[in-house]
Amino acid sequence: MSSGSDSTIPKPTGFLVLDKPAGPSSMSAVSVVRRRAGRTKTGHGGTLDPLATGVLVLGLGRATKLLEQVVATDKAYETEIDLSITTRTDDLEGDACTIRVDTPPDHAAVEAALSTFSGEFLQQPPAFSAVKIGGRRAYALARKDQPVELPPRPVRVDHIRLIAYTWPIATVEIKCAKGFYVRSLARDLGTRLGTGGCCRRITRTAVGPFTLDEAITLDDVPDPLTQADLISIDDALARITPPCP
């Protein structure tokens, strides 16, 4: 039996910053870490779509009680939006439908359209999302081809920038409050430009003070995972709620 499952060894408690790969769900990543931490209670501080990559903050042991504070922090993303196609899921999980665009928008037009998604505004979540409708997840209804009408919700974007554009791919950098859907941005940007709009790639580069630079891949999570591999609760809280000047 490995030392990670020895009941005489204290269970690890703290935070782990994971670089989630494309494919696994957030809960699948949690399950891997939980096993390597000797079945220690483990949760995450904000879901990433299966096809999305990047920062997934995990709390282990007593840190799971503090994950709501992680969820409440601002987020940062980088995404590649394909303006030539649409899908039902607003990413590549759905079947692509090519949109005919006689005159592709130029760099200035895409920049101008993106600038309208700054500040506070209402955003409609994707049909394929975890938002509940009558107690059921929207994605469960959408997968059964049942109608999904989600009311717009207030969101906040503090920074949005076009960092590269060659038709049909626009690469966009976003800093936003919790509750913002990058896939909805792709959909709505396409609507504004009269083109398609679908996320080819979504990378979450930061969750509050936790960044991609410090994240480890799922393959690199130690087995067994020990206390020494985690950010302590005190250190994490100091980063999330820095002292007043």
d(CA 167, CA 84): 8
DSSP output for 161-175? EEEEEETTEEEEEEE
Alpha-carbon dihedral of residues 212, 229, 235, 18, nearest 10 degrees?
A: 30
d(CA 67, CA 69): 5
CA angle 131, 135, 138 (to 5 degrees): 35
> Is 49 tagged catalytic?
yes
Please name every residue paired with 58 in a beta bridge, in sequence order, or none if there are none. 16, 44
d(CA 240, CA 175): 16
3-class secondary-structure state, position 182:
helix
Sheet strands (E) in the chain: 14-20, 42-44, 53-60, 75-82, 85-86, 97-98, 119-123, 132-133, 136-137, 153-166, 169-176, 198-207, 210-211, 216-217
Of the residues 49, 90, 91, 188, only one is catalytic, namely 49
* Catalytic residue IDs: 49
